[in-house]
Amino acid sequence: MRTVNEVSKLSGVSIRTLQYYDKIGLLHPTDHTEAGYRLYDDTALAKLQQILLFKELEFPLSEIKRILECADYDENKALSQQIRLLELKKERLERLIAFACGIKRIGVKRMDFSAFTTERIQAYAEEAKAAWGHTPQYKAFEEADVKRSQNDRRLMMTELMAIFRELGQLKDGAAEEGEAQLWVKKLKGYITENFYECTDEILRSLGTVYACGGEFTENIDRAAGEGSAKFAEKAIQAYCDRRSEN
């Protein structure tokens, strides 16, 4: 048996919180000392671990209580579900980290619309204007974009994805040489001509975000085939590495 103070130190849960869990019926102590202090056995500690896992996944306490009190509650099944949810959270965090690193490298909010449908372009542009309207890259994009029609924007997306499709057809070969490198050069030129000046530094960062997961990867892979985004990223990094050596 462990005292409430020992459980608090072991779990990082405050004594006040453990008292509250007892009050609402979420986690009762196993027993009490003669002086009335709460005591917890290993079964109670195991339940506390389940509670903390559900809390980490942002379940409200009332829902956690309902789940744990359910007659057909399966601890192993719940743990498997918790593991999967935590994996998904980890994947999302990794995508956000890659996204943020890409922005940091570029120095501006990226104006790569390949991951967006044409219907979302305007909303994204408004957001970017509010946050980054003072940057040269955004001003250049805005000046050009104001003259474009919806059909123009749709054509740009089609042409951009066509480049990724060409890269995708080469994914079973070498990304570091030959035709793949020619298509990376075309991609860089297309971005510069239609969006903003695509320096090698910006291109390298775009390669990272293309393959980091989420909508960017999904849209490229949908257009060009599974694995195309990662192949494009590999080809882009090789292109930029070669140029930095010269």
The answer to whether 231 and 167 have CB atoms below 8 angstroms apart is: yes
pLDDT tens, residue order, the chain (246 aa): 999 999 999 999 999 999 999 999 999 999 998 888 999 999 999 999 989 888 877 778 888 888 888 777 777 777 777 777 777 777 766 766 665 666 566 554 444 443 333 444 444 444 444 443 455 655 666 677 777 787 777 888 888 889 999 999 999 999 988 899 999 999 999 988 887 778 888 788 788 778 877 677 888 888 889 999 999 999 999 999 888 765
Q: Chain-centre distance of CA 84, in angstroms?
A: 15
For 39, the 3-state DSSP assignment is strand
Question: Which tokens in the block code for residue 8?
Answer: 């608090």
Q: Which domains does the chain have, with CATH numbers?
A: 2-69 (1.10.1660.10), 94-245 (1.10.490.50)
Q: Are 3 and 39 in contact (CB under 8 A)?
A: yes
